[in-house]
Amino acid sequence: MINSNEIIDDIANKEYEFGFTTDIEMDIAPPGLNEDIIRFISAKKNEPEWLLEWRLKGFAAFKKMEFPKWQHFEMPALDLQAVSYYAAPRKKKQLNSLDEVDPELLATFEKLGIPLNEQKALTGVAVDAVFDSVSVATTFKGKLKEMGVIFCSFGEAVQEHPELVKKYLGSVVPHTDNVFAALNSAVFSDGSFVYIPKGVRCPMELSTYFRINAQNTGQFERTLIIADDNSYVSYLEGCTAPMRDENQLHAAVVELVALEHAEIKYSTVQNWYPGDKDGKGGIYNFVTKRGICKGAASKISWTQVETGSAITWKYPSVILQGDHSEGEFYSVAVVRNKQIADTGTKIHHIGKGTKSRIISKGISAGHGDNSYRGLVSVGPRADNARNFTQCDSLLIGNQCGSHTFPYIESRNKSAMIEHEATTSKIGEDQIFYLNQRGIDSEKAVALIVNGYVKEVLNQLPMEFAVEAQKLLSITLEGSVG
Amino acid sequence: MLTIKNLHAEVEGKKILKGINLEINKGEMHAIMGPNGSGKSSLASVLAGRDNYTVTEGEVWFNGKNLLDLSPEDRAREGVFLAFQYPVEIPGVSNLNFLKTALNEIRAYKGLPALEAREFLKLTKEKQQLVDFHSNLMNRSLNEGFSGGEKKRNEIFQLAMLDPQLAILDETDSGLDIDALRIVSSGVNKLRDAEKSFVVITHYQRLLEYIIPDFVHVLYNGRIIKTGTKELALELEERGYDWLKEELHLKESV
Amino acid sequence: MTSDMILPFYQALTADVTALAAQATVPSTDAVQSIRRKALERFTAMGLPTLKTEAWRYSNIQRYLKEFPYELLNDAAPVAPTVAQQAAIPELDCYRVVLVNGRLQADQSTLPEGKGITIGAMSAYADAPGFVTYFNQQHHLETESLAQLNTALFADGLYIELAANTVLDKPVHVIHVYSCTAHSFIQPRHLWVLNRNAAATIIESSVHPETTAVAFANSVVETIVQENAELWHYCVQQGEDSFREVSTTAAQQFKDSRYHHFSVTLPGTPFTRNNTSVALNGSHTETNLNGLYITNKHQHVDNHTFMDHIMPDCNSNELYKGVLLDDSNGVFTGKILVHQEAQKTNAFQQNNNLLLGSKADINSQPQLEIYADDVKCSHGFTAGQFSEESMFYLRSRGIGEEAAKALMVNAFSHDITDAIHVPALQHFLQEQIAEIMNN
């Protein structure tokens, strides 16, 4: 078991370990998006020719594509030529003590119960890493290596395991998939790479490690996870602590490949800066996440808790290609102030006996606008496919919006599909009942909301679930008038 | 302990309570009876602080504090407990979690530390036995899918757990069969002591065969028109309310 | 925009817009002509729907439009009374209105008469107060290009207005006869107004005489249900192989009104699209949208509904059930929109499907779009087969597989047929369903 101090050590050492700091002062590409920039990025990363070509194909596709129009919000004007597409990973401004950190941020950390050292690391305060940090990190990596698990930065994987990257890169999210995926393919900065060999059950959540990664991989990260036959991995992305970032647009791509009898569990807690009360600032989180259950009886499960970002636009999807494979999507999306979330999932049943389960819980408060958008499609070969979808919305206040846009397509008569959706508000009589038992309205809402999202939070690893629960309470503070 | 003086209240502009006066001392059991629509449940709601009721006149003092100034949760924390006539269902919130939250909120208000998990469970077991509440209901969502009897028993169980000074039972007997009524009443009787007071609101005399009141009040048209002892309840059972109404009209016309 | 494939027909529709508009001369009031011009502009801007049009993503109408070189037909050839008789419902005591390509056939009709009842050809009532107030006022029509085309080009249809407190004693059976000698595109247009406290039952059927020429009807019905009025509106669709249909119903409801809409689509017509939309312009209304589609062969049925909750305290209930046989395909889109002012809305929607054909498919899009917080809304969708257990139970009692299936389909459609309040119609449809399942 790795405790939180060790996590900090990891944070403290990671940059050093991968040598990010060495060229940090140089190399910032001029703003603009063109082939030269892409060649420059590729050269900087010392990439093989095939990867450069792949990036250029992505760029060619990007140029032909338009921004989507079907979403339930107005796409903000994005000036993609004003962005600099290569900057060596930014090192945060080092502060000398927590006294220099925004007190509001600290108050939130306090409420979330994030340990002091971790607070320091997250806010960029120099940590006195007097703990035996090097050995911890080594033990961590060493243990994985012993089992044959590859877990490294994307850039490192390109150098060390080109055959795996070449085989699977773009195999789930092709560079032509959508405009943001095409952009990512052309200019992706870095990200994570995971390979779990045959028959290996990854002994730890690959979470704590990533807590660090998330800070430095920039706005176009790329994640690729491959679980070989009979393997298992649980991967956690994100962090309950509020993440501030100067980049407004985040267009990440995540690809998951599960081979025969393999299982991938991917959990996300997203708490990017949502902008102020009037919706100014805030991150646009336009992510393409997709997994393929390639092998028979494989399983991919997405769990997400989305509380941040000004706009969240993501549809973690599963292609159920292997017979008897299984896909799951568990989601909690909270919007308040002027936040917008347009999120959901796509499940494609292709193989026989494939199963899927979708549980989506939307919570809208303030002037927030929350949409569930999902597709369940059953192909003609998918005999006896099963889907169950439950998609609930909870409204707090009368200025918010809540929408569900499911698409259901069945081409197989033996398939069984069930979809249920409800919308409700927190009832005054419920609040009064809890008041009468001595619980104030704020706590009452938290209690009801936690009950409402329990089914999703239960999917998260224990520690993470507790944090996520606190995060929800804090997010909804002051929502009940 | 509780003093109600000339209490007037209305809901949506309609006058419901028209001058209630009532004095309740430590350890007393008061029954409030009356025909439908007389204002019995409204009185309970006003005391608990339901916000669609507007108090237009009068005062309510509870242990020296002006109850009407307090929020519903602070009234509960001061020790006023309402056993609801129709307990709400709250899907997803487990009974256990709910009770723990409530108990610790009340303790925090009194400056007491939160109960340790072990102590809490011990207390839960003890009170479950006291009021004959099935432990398998503890992990279920609050009142969700409970039968009418189970809901009412849950109210009494909560009463035992939260240990208030004043318990108002709003038609706790309605919708109960005789066995359930016996269980609920015996729970209430076990909780009676010299410190705790009860207000039992009921439509039927039969509850008062199990829970013997010290005083019986008859509420009619928003006012208490007669106060007596348990014999009054019997008389009401035999003669109905009409003789009282007539008596009242006679008085008023004089 | 339109694809190249259907250019000739599209050109015919738009190339000589003025000439087309000139054809549509009746009703000729200035108000109508101005509405027509605007509609034509909207139609030209939108074009005919393609698979890229979100509301048509599962219904390839182009395939049917390009099948034949259609002619626009705005006239009625004489048709023998026996043709309309084919659509008669046994034992139904009713008034009868026969329309041929939208033109009222007075000699074949038995119209209700009496104080407060206005009924006749649209072309004759363009000055009527109900027409002036309500014609083309349901704004949902604006987003549907085919409805705009209808507005621009319609020649005639049925106008009904019931004055306040007028209650029709018998159902009105409206029989649409679509008759043509060449492949034709026909646009009938109707307006039915029920004023305060009025009540009526209207049953629509259509018939297309056996012929080699294909009729494509693009019809629009506007219904107005004023304060405390009640309309029962049944649409029975049992077309022929040489018939295609886009049927748009746009209803407006006012305070305390009740609107019950049934659309029952049975085997026959290869392509049916029903656009049903209800705008709730008053509070405390009740709306029931019921749909039953039993389809076979390569039939395509698309029910596209829109419940627009504009005012508070309204209740709507939507239930669409489908039995898809052979290679047929079903589409259901149900949108519930609850505006911010529409507090205390109760809106429920359910779409259940039995996929019985080996190549049958279903596409469904139940949508909730909600901007008010004190509401109860839900939608549900299922697609599947009979429960094996029930089938086994029936068979173990000696009922053959086919008979068991028929029994189960009957039970499945019961929710809809049971809600039909005209016994003769209910009986008729139950018989029809039994017959389909027994074949």
pLDDT at residue A129, rounded to an integer:
30
pLDDT at A119: 59
Residue A213 has pLDDT above 50, yes or no: no
Q: How far apart are CA B163 and CA A215, in angstroms?
A: 51
Q: Which residues of chain A lie closer than 8 angstroms to C58, CB-CB?
A: 409
CB of A465 within 8 A of CB of A234? no
Residue A467 located in a structural domain: no
Given A435, A441, A447, which is nearest B93 (Cβ)?
Answer: A447
To the nearest whole number, what is the mean pLDDT of chain A? 80
Distance from chain centroid for Cα A473: 20
Q: How much is the average pLDDT of A141-146?
A: 80
C380 touches chain A (CB under 8 A): yes
A430 interaction partners in chain B (CB closer than 8 Å): 88, 90
Q: With bands split at pLDDT 50, 70 and 90, how would you rate the model's confidence at C424?
A: very high
For chain C, the chains sharing at least 3 beta-carbon pairs closer than 8 angstroms are: A
Residue-wise pLDDT tens digits, B124-146: 999 988 888 888 888 888 888 88
Residue contact C381–A409, C-beta within 8 A: no
Whether residue A281 is contained in a domain is answered as yes
The CA-to-CA distance between both ends of chain B, in Å, stands at: 35
Report the pLDDT value the prediction gives residue A137, as an integer from 0 to 100.
47
For residue A436, list chain B residues with Cβ-Cβ distance below 8 A: 48-49, 72-73, 75-76, 81-82, 84
Mean pLDDT of the C167-196 span: 94
Q: Is the bond preceding C27 in cis, omega lying within 30 degrees of 0?
A: yes
Question: Is B90 in contact with A454 (Cβ distance < 8 A)?
Answer: no
Residue in chain A nearest C362 by alpha carbon: A410
Per-window interface: A 417-456 vs C, CB < 8 A? 417-425
Distance from CA of A145 to the nearest CA of C (A): 47
Q: Give the pLDDT confidence score for residue A6 in this predicted structure.
A: 43
Distance CA C366, CA C383 (A): 13
Q: What is the pLDDT of residues C381-408, one digit of tens each?
A: 999 887 777 776 677 676 777 777 887 8
- Selected for mutation to probe chain A from B96, B101, B103, B112 (highest A CB count within 10 Å) is B101
| Pick from B77, B84, B97: CB nearest A438 | B77
Which of C118, C195, C205 is closest to C422 using CA atoms?
C205
Beta bridge partner(s), residue C368: A404, C336
The first and second tokens of residue B111, run together, are: 């400056």
Q: Going by beta carbons, is chain A in contact with chain C, meaning 3 or more pairs sit under 8 Å apart?
A: yes
pLDDT in tens, C337-391: 999 899 889 999 999 999 999 899 999 999 889 888 888 888 889 998 877 777 7
- Nearest CB to A70; choose among C54, C378, C385: C54
A40, part of any domain: yes
Is residue C289's pLDDT more than 70? yes
Confidence class for position A365, pLDDT limits 50, 70, 90? confident
Most confident segment among A307-311, B244-248, C12-16, C76-80: A307-311
Residue A372 tokens, joined:
């569930």
A residues 352..411 contacting C (CB < 8 A):
380, 393, 395-411
Asked which of A129-143, B164-178, C214-228 is least confident by mean pLDDT, the reply is: A129-143
CA C348 to each of CA B38, C335, C344: distance values in angstroms, whole numbers, following the listed order: 37, 11, 13
Q: Quick check: C385 and A395 CB within 8 A? A: no
Higher pLDDT, residue C11 or C415: C415
All residues at 6 or more sequence positions from B139 whose CB lies less than 8 Å from its CB, including other chains: B94, B95, B96
In angstroms, the CA A423 to CA A410 distance is 25
Q: How far apart are CA B89 and CA C155, in angstroms?
A: 58
pLDDT band at A212 (very low <50, low <70, confident <90, very high): very low
Q: What pLDDT sits at residue B43?
A: 94
Nearest to A403 among C359, C368, C374 (CB): C368
Query: Which residue in C375, C380, C384 is closest to A416 by CB distance?
Result: C384
Does the CA dihedral B119-B120-B123-B124 come out positive or negative?
A: negative
CB of C82 within 8 Å of a chain A CB? The answer is no
ipTM of the complex: 0.81
Give pLDDT tens digits for B223-246: 999 999 988 988 888 888 888 888
Q: How far apart are CA C23 and CA C50, in angstroms?
A: 27
With 90 as the cut, is the pLDDT of residue B95 above it? no
Q: How many domains does chain A have?
A: 1
Cβ pair C139, C279 in contact under 8 A:
yes
Residue A59 has pLDDT above 70, yes or no: yes
User: SS3 letters for chain C?
Assistant: CCCHHHHHHHHHHHCCHHHHHHHCCCCCCHHHHHHHHHHHHHHHHHCCCCCCCHHHCCCCHHHHHCCCCCEEECCCCCCCHHHHHCCCCCCCCCEEEEEECCEECHHHCECCCCCCEEEEEHHHCCCCHHHHHHCCCCHHHHHCHHHHHHHHHCCCCEEEEECCCCECCCCEEEEEECCCCCCEEECCEEEEEECCCCEEEEEEEEECCCCCCCEEEEEEEEEEECCCCEEEEEEEECCCCCEEEEEEEEEEECCCCEEEEEEEECCCCCEEEEEEEEEECCCCCEEEEEEEEEECCCCEEEEEEEEEECCCCCEEEEEEEEEECCCCEEEEEEEEEECCCCCCCEEEEEEEEEECCCCCEEEEEEEEEECCCCCEEEEEEEEECCCHHHHHHHHHCCCCHHHHHHHHHHHHHHHHHCCCCCHHHHHHHHHHHHHHHHC
Place of tokens 């925009």: C1
Predicted pLDDT of residue C14: 60
User: Looking at beta carbons, which residues of chain B come within 8 Å of A438?
Assistant: 73, 76-77, 102, 105-106, 109, 162
Q: Tell whether the torsion through CA atoms of B200, B201, B204 and B205 is positive or negative.
A: positive
User: What are the pLDDT digits (tens) for A231-265?
Assistant: 999 998 876 666 666 667 788 899 999 999 999 99
Residue A94 pLDDT class (50, 70, 90 cuts): low
- In this prediction, residues A412-432 reach a mean pLDDT of 88
pLDDT tens sequence across A9-55: 333 333 322 222 223 333 566 777 888 888 888 888 889 999 999 99
Fold classification of B2-253 (topology level): Rossmann fold (3.40.50)
A21 touching C (Cβ < 8 Å):
no
Q: Residue A192: phi, psi to the nearest 5? A: -120, 155
Cβ-based neighbours of C188, under 8 Å, separated by 6 or more: C99, C101, C102, C154, C156, C157, C176, C217, C219, C220
**Could you tell me the CA-to-CA distances from C8 to B115, C68, C186 in Å, in that order?**
81, 10, 17
More confident residue, A416 or A79: A416
Which among A400, A416, A421 has CB closest to C366? A421
List, as ranges, residues 350-379 from C with C-beta within 8 Å of A: 353, 355-379
Residue C323 has pLDDT above 60, yes or no: yes
Instruction: Give me the residue spans of the domains in chain B.
Output: 2-253
| Chain A interface disruption, residue of C58, C331, C370, most A CBs within 10 A | C370
pLDDT at C270: 95
Task: Note whether residue A184 is domain-resident.
Answer: yes
Amino acid in the structure at residue C19: A
Residue A39 sits in which domain range? 13-314
With left for phi above 0 and alpha for psi between -120 and 50, is residue C174 left, alpha or beta?
Answer: beta
Q: Tell me if there are at least 3 CB pairs under 8 Å linking chains C and B.
A: no
pLDDT over 90 (residue C230): yes
A393-402, B117-126, B187-196: the lowest-pLDDT one: A393-402
CB spacing of A405 vs C371 below 8 angstroms:
no
- Residues with Cβ within 8 Å of B199's Cβ and at least 6 positions away in sequence, in order, are B24, B30, B31, B32, B44, B166, B167, B168, B169
Are the C-beta atoms of C333 and C318 separated by less than 8 Å?
A: no
Note whether B92 contacts A443, CB cutoff 8 Å.
no
| E runs forming strands in A135-205 | 150-153, 191-196
Mutate to test the interface with C, among A377, A410, A480 (most CBs of C within 10 A): A410
Report phi then psi at A186, rounded to 5: -75, -40
From chain C, the residues in CB contact with A383 under 8 A are none
Tens digit of each residue's pLDDT (9 = 90 or more) over B27-85: 999 999 988 888 999 999 999 988 889 999 999 999 999 999 998 889 999 999 999 88
Which is more confidently placed, B236 or C302? C302
Rg from Cα positions in chain B: 18
Q: What is the pTM of this model?
A: 0.80
C383 vs A401, A407, A415: nearest CB: A415
> Can you spell out the DSSP letters for A82-145?
GS---B--PPPPPBSSGGGS-HHHHHHHHHHT--HHHHHHHHTBPP---S-HHHHHHHHHHHHH
